[in-house]
A = this chain, B = another copy of it.
Amino acid sequence: MTTLLFDQFLSTDAMAEAFDGPRLIQAMLDFEAALAKAEADEGLIPPSAAEVIARACDVSLYDPNELARASRSAGSLAIPLVKALTARTAELDAEAARHVHKGGTSQDVIDTGNALLTKQALNLIDASLTSLIDRLLGIAEQHADTPILARTLMQPATVTTLGFKMLGWIAPLQRSRAALTELADLALALQLGGAVGTLSALGDKGPAVSRRMAQELGLALPDGCWHTQRDTWMRLGAEVGILTGTLGKIATDLSLMAQGEIGELAEPSGAGRGGSSAMPHKRNPVSSMVALAAFYRAPGRVATMLSTMAQEHERGLGNWQAELAEWPHLFMGAHGALQALNDAFQGLIVDPARMRANIDSLLGLVFAEAAGAVLAKAIGRAAAHHELESLSREAAASGTHLLTLTLARVQASDALRGQVDEAALRLAFEPSEAARHATHVTRERLQRLRAA
């Protein structure tokens, strides 16, 4: 038994437990119990045998570590487990032991077990996602009209509102939530194909046994086994990767806005949170850090899983096993990121004064486009754009506010003097005016997002 502390560090206890060895073993035993029960209900094995098998399907009767070790030479975790289950069942009732695992194959046990664990994992994801969306909506509603610099290509652009900015965080989360739900309905499916996918060992009872098992286990009933057809499973995995991408986008924005020199947002601080072993003043954005770590790790994992899709014939060699091992890490990362961002936004510190100060410090440069629109009425878009480019350069070089320079230029230019609405020009440099349109859009879209 090994614990990799950095994996643990970047995930949550709840998700780590969801994929913990004993949980997996129990889920595999749940498959075996459900198989026996369904077969008994269909008259394939004696009901009493199913009952005895069910009693032996309790993880506390087995040693996960020993099973893991034995799985290496066996080539599959299911083989030593079925052997141990058969032995345990035989101790209770030798006759019942003859009916253990009838018609199933290793991959049936493992894939179904994994689907059961993933179902729990998705419940954890959904709860954290719902709560994160809720938190973000609350802050966005409160700051629908708070002016803030928009930034493009890592440079100040023009003014937007914090609420509008957050729309761009919330909407993708809602889409991921919907997508996960839809994809889970298909992907969390029973695996039951028998040795080579035809389920021939159950004869014409195969479909009925499958139907019963799917219902018993709370899983979807797929149209045929999916031993080496992993596309539905991949869609779910890719969506977790996409969700992690969105979380990475949020964490990136947050960490950029939390830079000491910008200071518009800050993660909550508190005893033991985000300190430094060397620098007493540090308030490190540790939630962003955890979310970003998940963001860095997800693409390679999704790539690995896609690279395992060419599973040979009726059961893959090495690729299926690689997929199994990568799978939980994807969920562990995503949940670590979700939990971290929930922590960050729960106590988020928002500094509207600093947002305003950051706008002000840019000498009106971010209003150049708006000012250009006012001038364009007199001299056309291209000429106005050109004019403002030159005035912006001058403002930056001289440290003079762009409004001052523009007003002077209007007076000095034959083409502009008298042609430009000076009040409109001054208004173009007002943050709240610049944010007026964004505020309106934000309120409208937030209502729709709340309703969703």
Contact = CB atoms under 8 A, between A and B. Distances in A.
Interface stretch (A133-141, A191-199, A412-420): A191-199
B256 A313 contact: yes
Interface in A186-224: 194-201, 203-204, 206, 223-224
A99 interface: yes
Nearest to A365: B281
B262 A261 contact: yes
A321 B251 CA distance: 15
Interface in A52-71: 64-65, 67-71
A424 interface: no
B8 A68 contact: yes
Interface centre among A104, A171, A291, A388 (most CB of B within 10 A): A171
B277 A228 contact: no
A273 interface: yes
Interface centre among A98, A361, A382 (most CB of B within 10 A): A382
Interface in A274-333: 274-286, 288-319, 321-322, 324-329
A285 B315 contact: no
A111 to B, nearest CB: 12
A175 B229 CA distance: 11
A368 B280 contact: yes
Interface centre among A86, A157, A228, A235 (most CB of B within 10 A): A157
B77 A276 contact: no
A74 interface: yes
Interface in A230-287: 230-232, 234-235, 238-239, 241-242, 244-246, 248-249, 251-253, 255-256, 258-262, 269-270, 272-286
Interface centre among A3, A362, A438, A448 (most CB of B within 10 A): A3
A398 interface: no
A106 B429 CA distance: 23
A6 B325 contact: yes
Given A73-B272, A317-B153, A380-B97, A277 B78 contact: yes
Given A9-B325, A292-B317, A299-B300, 18 more contacts: A1-B3, A4-B20, A6-B328, A7-B325, A98-B380, A100-B382, A105-B276, A150-B313, A172-B231, A231-B242, A238-B241, A241-B306, A252-B312, A262-B262, A280-B386, A280-B392, A296-B322, A297-B325
B281 A402 contact: yes
Contact of A319 (B69, B292, B313): B292
A381 B90 CA distance: 12
B280 A224 contact: no
A278 B296 CA distance: 32
